[in-house]
Amino acid sequence: MSSSSLQPNHGDNVISLGTRQDDPMLAADADLRHVLDRLAGLGGKPLEAVTPKQARRQPGLSEALAEVLKPAGRTAEPDKDITSSDAEMETPDGKLKLRVHRTKGEGEGARPLVLYLHGGGWVTAGNDRDETVPRLIARQTGAVVVAPAYRLAPEHKFPAAHDDAYAAWLWMIENAEELGGDAARAAVFGEDAGANMALNIALQARDEAMQAPVHSVLVTPIAGTDVTRPSHIENARARPLGTALLQWYFRHAFANKADAADPRIGLAEREDFAGINPVTLILADIDPLRSEGEALALKLNEADVWVDAKVYEGVSHDFFALGRVVNKARFAQAQALTNLNEALKISRRAPGLAQGLSS
């Protein structure tokens, strides 16, 4: 049987629709607003007003987080107990770079494996920009975390990134022993565009009778292109992702309307989820993508897929990595990593888990 804990709770702090449309960030928690204000103070331009190459050089939330931590003498430097190395694989379209994260030390036997897919709307972000989440996964699960540097648009439009993501999944499984991992305990974890591709990996592996992820963690996934859904209207002016920026991503990611309407993009409209393994679905209330995420949760539930879905109020898109300063992000990290640990059948909690996920 499926299980869902979808908890929109939009009525707890009632805001009139007009006010919400004028400034959806009025509903944001103070700790998130503090980070976003620091981001605004870094002087970057709105991404939708620049080219993709320029957008990739704009300051982001990782830089804003570093600014927030600085006065307290804290840093946003990578965890010293995590090692990161680069690998490379061959694909039909050329070489694909991957970054591999793991905790130091030998551990006990083969480790579980997690394929991590970053967000950025298929246009921005990457392994060299911010490694907070994949390193967090490695630290809290003891898994070997593989993060492919999949091709970005507009240089490589859809379905290039999807092809790379699935190829990286197969590579990780085939090279499990060399990675020090256990191919039977492998999961996927994605944010935004990466979350879309993570669920597509589960579907494609099922359809091709390949090894499928034991669990899929989807953080604020892109699950369609319909910008008339309620959350797109309510959160059109949200930060850091509003509807205008989302449409900018779509214009660069897809070559035509047919690509944008592809079932791999329109996950919230699909009816063929039966038979995939459990899913954790994390959504943000102040996010244009919230409505399609809620629709996806219902579709998974109807297909009898176990899904643990929750909407976090008071936060917006990209909040998940901010657990060091944003309280709701800590809760979301706990939800994701508790479920991931259970799916990977970790017999012991990783050091530091009980003390706080983003300490």
- Residue 120 scores a pLDDT above 90: yes
More confident residue, 201 or 70: 201
Q: 143 or 78, which is more confident?
A: 143
Residue 352 covered by a domain: no
Beta bridge partners, 219, equal 191, 282
Q: Are 312 and 115 in contact (CB under 8 A)?
A: no
Q: In the chain, what's the furthest Cα-to-Cα distance?
A: 57
Q: How far apart are CA 70 and CA 198, in angstroms?
A: 34
Give pLDDT, residue 345: 85
The domain of 45 spans 17-344
* 240-243-249 Cα angle (round to 5): 80
Residue 292 included in any domain: yes
Q: Is residue 251 part of a domain?
A: yes
pLDDT at 11: 33
pLDDT digits (tens, 9 = 90+) for 24-55: 999 999 999 999 999 999 988 989 999 999 99
Q: What residues contact residue 28 under an 8 Å CB cut-off, 6+ apart? A: 36, 286, 314, 315, 316
Is residue 255 very low, low, confident or very high in pLDDT (cuts 50, 70, 90)?
very high
Distances (CA, A) of 72 to 68, 76, 78, 207, 330: 8, 12, 17, 51, 19
Residue 356: inside a domain:
no
Q: Does 293 map to a domain?
A: yes
- Enter the tokens of residue 311: 């909407």
- Compute the distance between CA of residue 220 and CA of residue 290 in angstroms, rounded to an integer: 7
What percent of the chain clears pLDDT 70, i.e. is strictly above it?
Answer: 87
Residue-level pLDDT at 81: 86
Q: What are 181-237's pLDDT values in tens digits? A: 999 999 999 999 999 999 999 999 999 999 999 999 999 999 999 999 999 999 999
Please report whether residue 88 resides in a domain.
Answer: yes
Structural domain includes residue 60: yes
Amino acid at 172: M
The CATH number linked to 229 is 3.40.50.1820
Q: Give Cα separations from 313 to 4, 133, 138, 268, 280 (angstroms).
A: 18, 21, 27, 21, 17
pLDDT at 2 over 80: no
Structural domains counted in the chain: 1
